[in-house]
Amino acid sequence: MEQLKKERCVPCEGGVPQASEDEVASYLTQLPNWQIIEVDGEKRLARSFRFDNFVHALAFTNRIGDLAEQEGHHPALLTEWGRVTVTWWTHAIGGLHKNDFIMAAKTDEAFQSSEGAK
């Protein structure tokens, strides 16, 4: 995760290849708490984060939103009482790109310093 979280997202407007199976496997070794899911035929990277209340979950959601704006890469965020589920994928290519793994690492780093994280 150390290397991924130091990197920046590169603009991706389509026409670039999705991450290969080997790349995905390599990135996942750095992100052991994330899983690959498939939604509408697209692979996505997802993780749920637990908090001790809604206020802390919402604060984390907003922090991830700020990170997404800084990097120009935006996830799906589901905020519930005590839990936030973050899902990254690259809309323009309909699947996973290195950017998604970079943002997952940055998300993990943000969680580690979040108030109320469980």
71 within domain boundaries? yes
CATH code where residue 104 lies = 3.30.1360.20
Q: Is 82 exposed, middle or buried (0-12, 13-18, 19+ CB in 10 A)?
A: middle
33 within domain boundaries? yes
9 within domain boundaries? no
pLDDT tens per residue across span 85-110:
999 999 889 999 999 999 999 999 99
pLDDT tens per residue across span 28-49:
999 999 999 999 999 999 999 9
Number of domains in the chain: 1
104 within domain boundaries? yes
Q: Any alpha helices (H) in the chain, and if so which ranges?
A: 2-6, 21-29, 54-71, 98-112
Instruction: Please state, in angstroms and rounded to a whole number, the distance separating the CA atoms of residues 66 and 107.
Output: 11
What residues make up the domain containing 47? 19-112
Q: Any alpha helices (H) in 7-97, and if so which ranges?
A: 21-29, 54-71
Mean pLDDT of 17-34: 95
7 within domain boundaries? no
Per-residue confidence band for 5, with pLDDT thresholds at 50, 70 and 90:
low
The alpha carbon of residue 76 and the mean position of all alpha carbons in its chain are separated, in whole angstroms, by 9
107 within domain boundaries? yes
pLDDT tens per residue across span 48-91:
999 999 999 999 999 999 999 999 999 999 999 999 999 999 98
Q: How far is CA 91 from CA 64, 97, 111, in A?
A: 18, 10, 24
How confident is the model at residue 13, as a pLDDT?
66
10 within domain boundaries? no
How confident is the model at residue 16, as a pLDDT?
83
How confident is the model at residue 100, as a pLDDT?
95
